[in-house]
Chains A and B, each alone.
Chain A
């Protein structure tokens, strides 16, 4: 049986028990993206060590789908190199969540965008972390 709003169990698990909520102090990169039509706003902050994402956290104002996909995004990104992380797609997030009701797909497209912004922010700072 599906849960609230026809969400998968995987989505409900990430939604009710997200592991990556928060904001990193002195981050190496931050990215915020807002979809005011849906009302979802997502902020990613991350730390980079040896070209790898060593820590990543999210803060999201949004629906079940938006929060769950933010959490999965962080899970996917953590430990990846910057180049690998850039390739994380919405399709991958949805696959990880075992599907997304089609009407909700637009709420899960925020994640990849916010991560790309955070990485860009990091690169613009000039990779100055040691």
Chain B
């Protein structure tokens, strides 16, 4: 059996079509988009065509898309850039289940004098609109809420949240790295002022992302230089990267979502047949089509992951032992799981490249691993 990659929330395989679209930009069409000559203009055209593809996919205008070196940069840019434009003061509202790049940016901003509220979520990972309303202050300038969660797959209702922000005239940002191409995003319907996107979660290359910035928004650039990206982010553009990013968006289709939904349902059904297994995160349809997160009572997540890896199956876990800091997952903590439940969790995230046969194999192997590890454990919850 070939390796089975079930860690697509971490990153994905580049689609062959994406790679093919990118290759000419390394050795033939390698011009600098700022140059006036033919090769430069060729690069410029590729850059702007790619920008149009990204813009159209979320109902934005071309000039509202700023390419970045990934999701982390786009999130940093939005949070810090808005704070600087605000005059280094004010209040941000975010959640307890954001990606580390949002949480750690917020923690840094707190040291610079920014006030930050971290909203709670319910046991399925949903933000409460009422709690959001209660947290608003006169000095609140930005609400930043993750769209699809990377650990538990919960998808927030951005339309409802956007309405609250619009009513109060507060800028609204979402980190859509995980949901992009999987859940429809429309910047006008959702009243979004900023959207973080990235490429490597959608079968595009790593090191490319984008920040949607609604026209005339107040944001200060982080990278000053030659005035690239409408003066908002200087550095010679990564043409091959953005071409690949755009191609990845173009090849993503609704049939992929339907396919992943089916595979995921099969995998979840099979997993829940193993005794004492619980699904973490959203239980209904408001869940990313590629995300599965389960806890296996009495056995440790990293050990399950280590076993799966020995069988060629890649997974990920929220257990303390697997993290560099020995902290349990902040997301699983926020949905109210105990340390025991968090330490027994694993995440399996699929992609369009996984097959039914692979899922069958996982469902054949995993119960055996669980049984073996349960024979080893001194714990019985």
Chain A residues within 8 Å of B, Cβ to Cβ: 3-5, 7, 12, 15-16, 18, 21, 32, 36-43, 58-67, 103-104, 106-107
Q: Min CB distance, A10 to chain B, in Å?
A: 14
Task: Give the nearest-CB partner of A68 in chain B.
Answer: B306
Task: Give the nearest-CB partner of B306 in chain A.
Answer: A64
A43 to B376, CA, bound (A): 10
B302 touches A60 (CB 8 A): no
Residue among A3, A4, A12, A63 making CB contact with B321, cutoff 8 Å: A63
Interface digits, B290-323 against A, CB 8 Å rule (1 contact, 0 not)?
0000000011101101110110000000011110
B378 touches A41 (CB 8 A): yes
A37 touches B320 (CB 8 A): yes
Count A-B contacts at CB 8 Å. 81
Q: Which residues of A sit under 8 angstroms from B299, Cβ to Cβ?
A: 61
Given A12-B306, A60-B377, A39-B320 contact (CB < 8 Å): yes
Q: Which residues of B sit under 8 angstroms from A32, Cβ to Cβ?
A: 378
Q: Which residues of B sit under 8 angstroms from A107, Cβ to Cβ?
A: 321
A18 to B207, CA, bound (A): 41
B379 touches A16 (CB 8 A): no
Per DSSP, chain A at the interface is mixed
Q: Min CB distance, B325 to chain A, in Å?
A: 9
Task: Give the nearest-CB partner of A42 in chain B.
Answer: B378
Verify if B255 is at the interface (C-beta below 8 Å from A): no
A60 touches B306 (CB 8 A): no
B310 touches A61 (CB 8 A): no
A12 to B378, CA, bound (A): 21
Given A60-B377, A63-B300, A3-B339 contact (CB < 8 Å): no
Verify if B326 is at the interface (C-beta below 8 Å from A): yes
A106 to B326, CA, bound (A): 10
Task: Give the nearest-CB partner of B309 in chain A.
Answer: A4
A12 to B324, CA, bound (A): 20
Residue among A3, A38, A41, A67 making CB contact with B320, cutoff 8 Å: A38
Verify if B343 is at the interface (C-beta below 8 Å from A): yes
Given A5-B322, A39-B343, A40-B321, A63-B377 contact (CB < 8 Å): no
